[in-house]
């Protein structure tokens, strides 16, 4: 292991803001994108299922 203490690791030799700013935004982006995709997929599946049920109902009634 390269670091002596955790606070040294966080400080990144006075470049902490820049390093953790990069890591943070990249992490957030790489978490938010899949989450949005999963939500989009689920809502699409739900919408299509509703349509399917509605279609069946009109078919059985008509």
Partner 1 sequence: MDKRLINWFKFASPQAFYPLAGRMMPWFWAAAAVFGIAGLYVGFLVAPTDAQQGEGYRIIFLHVPASWMSMFIYLVMAFWAGLGLAFNFRLSGMMATALAPTGALFAFLSLWTGALWGKPMWGAWWVWDARLTSELILLFLYVGFIALQSAIDDPRRADRAGAILALVGVVNVPIIYFSVKWWNTLHQGSSVSLTKSPSMAMIMLWGMLLCALACWMYAIAVALMRVRTIILERERHTEWVRIELSSKE
Q: Measured between alpha carbons, how far is 52 from 31 in angstroms, rounded to an integer?
A: 32
6 near partner 1, judged by CB under 8 A:
no
- What's the first-to-final CA gap in the chain, in angstroms? 73
Answer whether 46's CB lies under 8 Å from 52's CB: no
CB of 17 to partner 1, least distance (A): 8
- Binds partner 1 (CB under 8 A): choice among 1, 6, 58, 62: 1
Q: One symbol per residue from 7 to 46: x for binding partner 1 (CB under 8 A), - otherwise; what is it? A: --x--xxxx--xx-xxx-xx--xx--xx--xx-xx--xx-
DSSP 17: H
C-alpha angle with apex 14: 8 to 20, nearest 5 degrees? 80
Residues that bind partner 1 (CB under 8 A): 1-3, 9, 12-15, 18-19, 21-23, 25-26, 29-30, 33-34, 37-38, 40-41, 44-45, 48-49, 51-52
């Amino acid at each position: 292991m390269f670091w002596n203490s955790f606070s040294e690791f966080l400080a990144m030799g006075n470049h902490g803001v820049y390093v953790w700013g990069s890591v943070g935004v990249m992490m957030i982006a790489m978490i938010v994108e899949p989450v949005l995709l999963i939500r989009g997929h689920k809502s699409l599946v739900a919408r299509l299922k509703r349509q399917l049920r509605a279609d069946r109902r009109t078919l059985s009634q008509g």
